[in-house]
Amino acid sequence: MEFQPEDWTALAISLKVAVVAVIFSLPVGIAVSWLLARKEFPGKTLLNGLVHLPLILPPVVTGYLLLIAFGRKGFLGAFLDNAFGLVFSFRWTGAALAAAVMGFPLMVRAIRLSIEAVDQRLEDAAATLGASRLSIFFTVTLPLALPGIVTGAILAFAKAIGEFGATITFVSAIPGETETLASAIYAYTQVPGGDAGAARLTLLAILISFAALIASEALARRTAKRIGSAA
C-alpha cells in the first residue's frame, strides 16, 4: 500500500480544520460553560437548548442552516465578508466552522461538568484573600477545571476529525480546499476501484484516532497530577 499525495492533503486539511475549530471554539465554550454552571439568568434554558441543538439535529440540517446564515448571501456571511473579508462558504474555514459547531455541545458538556465540580468554597476562600471574580476564575476555577477542559477539547477535536454531514452540506468536498479525510473516504467509495484509496484513508483515520486517544490519556493524567489528587 502506498499513500498518494491526495491522501496527505486530505489528512492535512482534516488536521487543520480540527485544530482551528478547537482553538476558536474553546474560549467560547469555556465562557458558555461557566455561564451555564455558575449563573442564573433569564434565557438560560434557551441558551442550553441552543448549545445542544447540533447534537440533536440531523447534521445535514445544521450544515444547511450554516449555509443559509454564513453563505456569501447569508445575513452573517455577507456581513463578515464585507466587514472583515472573512468567507466561510466552500472554504476550509467553513469546514472549521461546521466542525466547531458540531463539536460545541460535547465540549460544553465536559467543561460545564468540571466547572460544576469545582468547590465553590475554594472560590469563596480566594475572595477573602483579595481576588476579584475575574481573578478567582483564572487562578482557581480554570486551573481546577482543567481536566474537564482538556477532555472537552479532545472530544471536540475527535468530533471535528469525524464530522461529515454538516461539512459536506455547508462547504461541499473540494479536493485541496474542503475535502477532509471523512469526505475523501466517502468520495472513494462512490467511484469504481476506489476501495484501495478508502482503505488507505481509513487506516490514517484509525491511526489519528488512536494517537488522539493516547495523547488525551497522557494529558488527563498529567493535569490530574498537577492539580493534586485531592481535587
Partner 1 sequence: MLDVAVSHRQGNFKLHAAFTIESGLTALIGPSGSGKTTLANIVAGLVRPDEGEIKFGATSWLDTGKGLWVPPHKRNIGYVFQEGRLFPQMTVRQNLTYARRFKKVPANEKRDADLIDLLGIRHLLDRRPDKLSGGEKSRVAIGRALFSAPDLLIMDEPLSALDPARKAEIFPHLEYIRDETGIPVLYVSHLMEEVARLATNVIAIENGKIIASGNPAEVLGSQATLPATIPAGSFLQARIEEIFADEGLMKANSAAGTLYLRMADAEVGDTVRVHIPATEITLTRQVPEQISALNRLSGRVETIRSEGGETEIIINCGGERILSRITSRSAEAMALQPGVEIFLLFKAVAIGRQGLFHRHG
Instruction: Establish if 45 lies at the interface with partner 1 (CB under 8 A).
Output: no
Instruction: Establish if 39 lies at the interface with partner 1 (CB under 8 A).
Output: no
Instruction: Establish if 227 lies at the interface with partner 1 (CB under 8 A).
Output: yes
Question: Which parts of 85-194 fold into alpha helices (H)?
Answer: 92-116, 120-128, 133-136, 142-144, 146-162, 165-171, 181-189
Instruction: Establish if 226 lies at the interface with partner 1 (CB under 8 A).
Output: yes
Of the candidate residues 76, 86, 127, 198, the single one contacting partner 1 (CB under 8 A): 127
Enter the C-alpha cell of residue 18. Answer: 480540527
Helix axes 146-162, 195-226, angle to 10 degrees: 170
CA angle at residue 99 from 34 to 198, to 5 degrees?
A: 145
Stretch 132-151: interaction string toward partner 1, x if CB under 8 A:
x--x---xx--xx-------
Q: How far is the CB of 218 from partner 1 (least distance, A)?
A: 19
Instruction: Establish if 220 lies at the interface with partner 1 (CB under 8 A).
Output: no
Stretch 75-114: interaction string toward partner 1, x if CB under 8 A:
----------------------------------------
Q: How far is the CB of 132 from partner 1 (least distance, A)?
A: 5
186 CB contacts (<8 Å, ≥6 apart)? 164, 168, 173
Of the candidate residues 43, 130, 192, 193, the single one contacting partner 1 (CB under 8 A): 130
Distances, alpha carbon 231 to alpha carbons 8, 30, 36, 178, 191, in Å: 42, 19, 21, 42, 53
Instruction: Establish if 129 lies at the interface with partner 1 (CB under 8 A).
Output: yes
Per CB under 8 A, the segment of 39-47, 51-59, 175-183, 221-229 that binds partner 1 is 221-229
**Cell 442552516 appears where?**
65
Enter the C-alpha cell of residue 216. Answer: 488525551
Residues that bind partner 1 (CB under 8 A): 119, 121-122, 124-132, 135, 139-140, 143-144, 226-231
